[in-house]
């Protein structure tokens, strides 16, 4: 049984035993501030970013676009529809890897983030495994997989061509392990500060 609602934020419920770093709700909103290797030239002039949209999707086959919920008005209608379109296509495949099983609906959750940098550091380690050109979009879409052993959380990152200040990050699956990033993580530093200040 899968919870197909609010899954991304399930860590915040802190029910079982997630590590302290993962419990913090700021995990997602305080996305990356540092270390973007090859994009460092862009970092120089603008690092600020804000989440401008949040979309939930549960990976079933969809036909219309009303199955997506964009919870922010700042998102322009044009970019919103394009995003919806792309995600509909994205959800078509990649559903059932297992053989002999019925269609598994894979929860997908998309963030729309206003950022100058493409790589949003959410605290996990990702390995890039693909890059594809997106139709009607001058920017490619990047595919990443979580490098933690046994964890196949995937995410894809793309930038909207009509508004290149917006980056869309789509997560698929759920991490069942602690955030494993080294000490240069903003996240980690924040947690440390909170620990020391009480």
Partner DNA sequence: CGTATTTGACCGGCGC
Partner DNA sequence: GCGCCGGTCAAATACG
Applying CB under 7 A, the residues found at the interface with DNA are: 37-38, 61, 86, 89-94, 125-132, 134-135, 141, 143, 147, 154, 156
* Least spacing, CB of residue 68 vs DNA, in Å: 14
Instruction: Assess contact for 120 and 48: CB atoms under 8 A.
Output: no
* Least spacing, CB of residue 157 vs DNA, in Å: 11
DSSP state of 105: P
Residue 116: partners with Cβ closer than 8 Å, 6 or more residues away:
42, 43, 45, 46, 47, 48, 49, 165
Q: With respect to DNA, which residue has the nearer C-beta, 14 or 132?
A: 132
* Least spacing, CB of residue 63 vs DNA, in Å: 8
* Least spacing, CB of residue 6 vs DNA, in Å: 22
Q: With respect to DNA, which residue has the nearer C-beta, 118 or 187?
A: 118
Question: Is 23 in a helix, a strand, or coil?
Answer: helix
Q: With respect to DNA, which residue has the nearer C-beta, 24 or 91?
A: 91
Question: Is 27 in a helix, a strand, or coil?
Answer: helix
């Amino acid at each position: 049984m899968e919870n197909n609602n609010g899954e991304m934020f399930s860590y915040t419920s802190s029910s079982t035993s997630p590590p302290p770093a993962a419990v913090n709700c700021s995990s997602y909103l305080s996305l990356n501030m540092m270390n973007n290797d090859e994009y460092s030239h862009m970092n120089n002039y603008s690092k600020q970013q804000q989440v401008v949209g949040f979309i939930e999707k549960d990976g079933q086959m969809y036909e219309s676009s009303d199955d997506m919920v964009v919870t922010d008005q700042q998102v322009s209608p044009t970019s919103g529809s394009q995003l919806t379109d792309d995600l509909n296509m994205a959800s078509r495949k990649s559903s059932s890897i297992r053989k002999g099983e019925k269609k598994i609906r894979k929860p997908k959750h998309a963030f729309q983030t206003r950022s100058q940098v493409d790589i949003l550091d959410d605290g996990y380690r990702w390995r890039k495994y693909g890059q594809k050109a997106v139709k009607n979009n001058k920017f490619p879409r990047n595919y990443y997989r979580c490098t933690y052993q046994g964890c196949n959380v995937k995410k894809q990152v793309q930038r909207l061509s009509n508004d290149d200040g917006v980056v869309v990050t789509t997560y698929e699956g759920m991490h069942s392990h602690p955030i494993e990033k080294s000490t240069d993580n903003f996240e980690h530093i924040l947690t440390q500060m909170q620990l020391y200040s009480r």
